[in-house]
Structure 1
Amino acid sequence: MTIPDRKWWQSATVYQIYPASFKDSNGDGVGDLQGIISELDYIQSIGVDVIWICPMYDSPQVDMGYDISDYEKVYPPYGTVADMEELIQKCHERGLRVLLDLVVNHTSDQHAWFQESRSSKDNPKRDWYIWRPARYVNGERKPPNNWLGNFMGSVWEWDEHTQEYYLHLFCPEQPDLNWENPETRQAIYKSAMEFWLERGVDGFRVDTVNMYSKGEMLDAPVTDPRSEWQFAGLQYCNGPRMHEFLSEMNQVLEKYDAMTVGECPHTPDMSRVLKYVSAKEKQLNMVFQFDVVDIGQGPYKFQTTPKNYTLPQLKHAIHTTQSLHRGTDAWTTVFLENHDQSRSITRFTSDAPEHRVAGGKLLSLMMTALSGTMFIYQGQEIGMVNFPLEWGMEEYKDVDSTNYYKMVAERTHNDPVELEAAHKSLQHLARDHARVPLSWDSTPNAGFSASKPWMRSLPDTAACNARAQQKDPSSVLGFWKRMLALRRQYADLLIYGDFDVLEKEDPEVFYFTKTYGTKKALAVLNFTDRELALRIPEEVRDQKAELLVSSVDGRAGDEGLVAWEGRVYLLS
């Protein structure tokens, strides 16, 4: 198989930065743009090609910056537009590209557009958002439909002033823009995209990219009889005009040769995903599918118990995302962490002190052997883990976490058993774990800030910090550097090769092959905390296997697998 016309973004590794938690340069306890600039040498040393910066726009921060009040300004604690321009320039000088988060399904309710929209029913911007009259049932006022919001409750908020409801798929402070209005779309392209593309940004991670076309907004089927509000992801995602809107957006992006990676939840139909990312369709370069990171979640994300999945389920999820580009003109992505996920070592291996380094290396080896554009989240490269169960609910800052805990408290009348189960689930899956400040060193506040950080630092910074790992080639960071170099060296096989799972039902070992033309590799991953005998699957037993890399130093390649060990063999 050959990939014609390879694009720079296909072989790229992207490093995601959450500005509030990366590095504080001015001692106010909040990370900032100058903090990022001060660590560009560190970022570059990992071996990445691109940085993606989470929303740094002006915002009331109800949803950590995903509620934008002005696309053309920077949130003051992070810095200024001039700081952003300096960051873009300094990245480009180092050969690093820059992606921004493009959040255009909704704005903040403090955005000037929404302020006008809600001022009166005949305001010229009224139709820039989605307004509907009330329904009345037995004389009682009700929202227009029964959709459940992403952060619990109804997606509709009553506006007393104009006596109508507006739609918000997320917080009430995040009203949805009306993409059906062509004037709105043009304003979005100009303010949210071209303003930054003109300043040299190389592309966007596109937030909630498949929610712009809402369809008929009919009631969702009742799947939770205990609630008035019902899961509606399949109703409001992938509406009838999505492809039209994305094609139009792409015409703007093409002028700047900008790349896009879209966030694509609630899309089980792979043919639909394929259409979004097919090169000939000219819509998106790639998307984040959620098959892997949704593993083990409950009907409500947190309504589950930790590690509530099997290894065969994980294999199937990885296979789904890896098969997207096989025999097509599409492209795929590889990721285990981001700002919306808890830490991958805790979720997929073991964060016990004796296993966390091995777990971090195993996942690094697995990811770098998978095809597609790779995304690493800050702290993942040093093996950061979730904060401990002993931390109380006061440490959870995220609206998603606090709303869920409140819902459980209300539904169960503060039943201590139910609340403890909710706490355990949040300790496993909450977004808060990704938002803890990066552990730079073992000094107070983890070297993140000279003063008390906005969110508490992890208690294990002595065992896990970036400065110590920079000097230690046997660390998780040292291994990531080695694996990224190997990924570049064997790009045909590891980045562009075809993926096949072997022994799909094996509950302990994940075997997969990568094939590119006549070249072939075998990955063997021990997903247990104990030693296992090495067994080469029957399908490749007749081939000579040469050990390319093990996640454990000093392995010969023919002895047993130690706990959480991963290997890649070249086959001939």
Structure 2
Amino acid sequence: MLILTGNMPMPLPTETTPNGYVKRWWKEAVVYQVYPRSFYDSNGDGIGDLRGIIEKLDHIKGLGVDVIWLSPHFDSPNADNGYDIREYRKVGAEFGTMQDFDDLLTAIKAAGMRLIIDLVVNHTSDEHEWFVESRSSYNNPKRDYYIWSEHKPNDWPSIFGGPAWTQSPGGDWYLHLFDPKQPDLNWDNPEVRVEVYDIMRFWLDKGVDGFRMDVIPFISKDKTFPNLPEDLRAKPQYLYTTGPHVHDYLHEMNTEVLQQYDVMTVGEAFGVTLQDTPKFVDERRQELDMVFQFAAVEVDRGPDGRWKPWTLPQLKAVFTRQDKALDHHGWPTMFLSNHDNPRIVSRYGDDRPEWREKSAMLLATLILTMKGTPFIYQGDELGLTNRTFTHIDQFNDLWTKNAWQDEVENGPCSEADFFANQNKVSRDHARMPMPWTAQGGFTTGQAWFALNPNFTEINAESSQTIYRFYADLIALRHAEPALVYGDYSDLAPAHPHLFTYTRTLGDTTFLICLNFSVEITAFESGVESEPVLSNYASPFGPMRGWEARIYKV
């Protein structure tokens, strides 16, 4: 039986835009993601920490962002870099103390920003006290907190590779859609949901402004445990997001907790199709505010999840499909990078020295003028690039190490092919420590993970041109409601190099022109317009290599 709070919901705003959107602060915000382990180390132990974020807070504030998203800072054995939580109400010792967290939250608020944190409640660490008790005996009160079976029920694979079922020393099998050290919680047990809601209130009552919810569509499981259809063998996430009660539980979470606070929620919708996205974010359903829809960051992935070439019309089509999938009752996110994806300049731009800055600024223009709440990942504002890995020991990520075992040690993949793919797709590209100076500047000790070897040339001190361009774009977005709420239209969906689109609200229209190539390309706006911002000094005539222009029509 759920314990109802009895609290009255927060009154929702009713002011609407001319095209029908209800105005909310999180729709107008720009979010900056901090991966604390790799941001800045304040004490020389080689690991980024909460005090380090406080020391570098001016760097974030200088961009003009509104919200900081803090990746997991909880106590964890770090089998999956913090996404395996051992204690939800405790700060990981490597990051500091709860007092450090409170000081960080105070500093963020004093700087005029808000803070959201990760909510990782599809699974816990196998070292969490709930799981320790759950596996201790059949009669333990926490036994039903996880999903157990006397036999291996089906052929479900883990997202990280290998089977999703592991046999415990007692003989029973438990479900883990990720690593064996990340057992899945049993959300069908109402006591589990009460525990989760209590954890949420703990952080919200501290003053946190919302949550990024890790793989939240996975929380409901089909307890008939059907085998995976053959066409989903490479992408099981498309089955794992279709549990029978996922929307019941998200609505209950909203009713029981979220409606009592003025907060934002964004769900990691890994495996959720564009067609199903409105079920999660339609404001009339009272579930989530937004989700991260993965179509744009899967444009360079084949059916097997490996890298494949992509074209600009394919990327443009994603944004058009997303725009058509959501009406004014739903709100999108705009992101091309995070801790789970390679660096955007190497992925969507051109990381050669002569084009890195221009393409980094072009991608910033796309992110900050597209429809949806924009999310910037640490280092995007510096134009950080991928590195070239040449040996498996250079990687840290569990996913890559499992892929090495599956593809090279036990599979047909050659080492050369493996590295060619991982140098395109590895999550480790984004997880390397931030380079603050030409000497590295991340730590006075030995960094937990090697910096990109190009830190001597690409660092915070040397990348101020890109940083200032991000700040200018964010200021423009804040000043112009049309760049937040404006309707979107792609003007040349088939053009192989130019991405030209408009954002229109009432009688205000912005025209954005982006040249995704080094080729000089003819361009005529066709309308009377005024240049507002560009990554070149004179935004006139043909579009130059990786040129970005914003016009006010």
CA distance in 1, matches of 2:19, 2:64: 25
Unaligned runs of 5+ in 1: 135-142
Residues 365 and 551 in structure 1, CA contact (< 8 A), matched pair in contact too: no
Write the letter of the residue equivalent to 2:215: T
Mapping of 1:258-407 within 5 angstroms? Answer: 258-270=263-275, 272-301=276-305, 303-305=306-308, 308-326=309-327, 328-389=328-389, 391-407=390-406
2:439 matches 1:431: no
2:468 matches 1:460: no
Write the letter of the residue equivalent to 1:13: V
Residues 323 and 488 in structure 2, CA contact (< 8 A), matched pair in contact too: yes
Cα deviation, residue 177, structure 1: 0.2
Residue among 499, 504, 507 paired with 1:515: 504
Normalised to the residue count of structure 2, the TM-score between the two structures is 0.94
Write the letter of the residue equivalent to 2:349: T
2:57 matches 1:40: yes
CA distance in 1, matches of 2:505, 2:225: 45
Residues 307 and 424 in structure 2, CA contact (< 8 A), matched pair in contact too: no
Residue among 452, 472, 493 paired with 1:482: 472
Residues 337 and 343 in structure 2, CA contact (< 8 A), matched pair in contact too: yes
Cα deviation, residue 109, structure 1: 0.2
Residue among 192, 196, 199 paired with 2:206: 199
> SS of 2:62's equivalent?
helix
> SS of 2:345's equivalent?
helix
Cα deviation, residue 431, structure 1: 0.5
Write the letter of the residue equivalent to 1:10: K
2:430 matches 1:421: no
Cα deviation, residue 325, structure 1: 4.2
CA distance in 1, matches of 2:209, 2:379: 23
Mapping of 1:158-197 within 5 angstroms? Answer: 158-161=167-170, 163-191=171-199, 193-197=200-204
Residues 104 and 188 in structure 1, CA contact (< 8 A), matched pair in contact too: yes
2:532 maps to 548
Write the letter of the residue equivalent to 2:461: R
Residue by residue, what CA displacement relative to the aligned partner does 1:210-262 show, whole Å, maximum 9, x if unpaired? Answer: 111112321111248xxxx6642222213221111011111212212221001
1:14 maps to 31
Residue by residue, what CA displacement relative to the aligned partner does 1:172-230 show, whole Å, maximum 9, x if unpaired? Answer: 00000000000111011113x11211211110001101111112321111248xxxx66
CA RMSD, 1 decimal: 1.6
CA distance in 2, matches of 1:396, 1:223: 30
1:137 maps to none
> SS of 2:303's equivalent?
coil
2:75 matches 1:49: no
2:140 matches 1:123: yes
Cα deviation, residue 2, structure 1: 3.8
Unaligned runs of 5+ in 2: 1-17
Residue by residue, what CA displacement relative to the aligned partner does 1:71-99 show, whole Å, maximum 9, x if unpaired? Answer: 01111010011111111111111111010
CA distance in 2, matches of 1:18, 1:169: 23
CA distance in 2, matches of 1:269, 1:318: 11
CA distance in 2, matches of 1:408, 1:56: 32
Cα deviation, residue 430, structure 1: 0.7
Residue among 99, 123, 148 paired with 2:116: 99
Residues 321 and 333 in structure 1, CA contact (< 8 A), matched pair in contact too: no
1:139 maps to none
2:239 maps to 235
2:392 matches 1:409: no
Residues 168 and 175 in structure 1, CA contact (< 8 A), matched pair in contact too: yes
Cα deviation, residue 566, structure 1: 1.3
Residue among 236, 242, 262 paired with 1:257: 262
Write the letter of the residue equivalent to 1:362: L
Cα deviation, residue 3, structure 1: 4.6
Write the letter of the residue equivalent to 1:450: T
> SS of 1:42's equivalent?
helix
Write the letter of the residue equivalent to 1:489: A
Cα deviation, residue 410, structure 1: 2.9
1:565 maps to 547
Write the letter of the residue equivalent to 2:546: W
> SS of 1:313's equivalent?
helix
Residues 221 and 230 in structure 1, CA contact (< 8 A), matched pair in contact too: no
Write the letter of the residue equivalent to 1:427: N
Residues 266 and 290 in structure 2, CA contact (< 8 A), matched pair in contact too: yes
Residues 21 and 329 in structure 2, CA contact (< 8 A), matched pair in contact too: no
Identity among equivalent positions (%) equals: 40
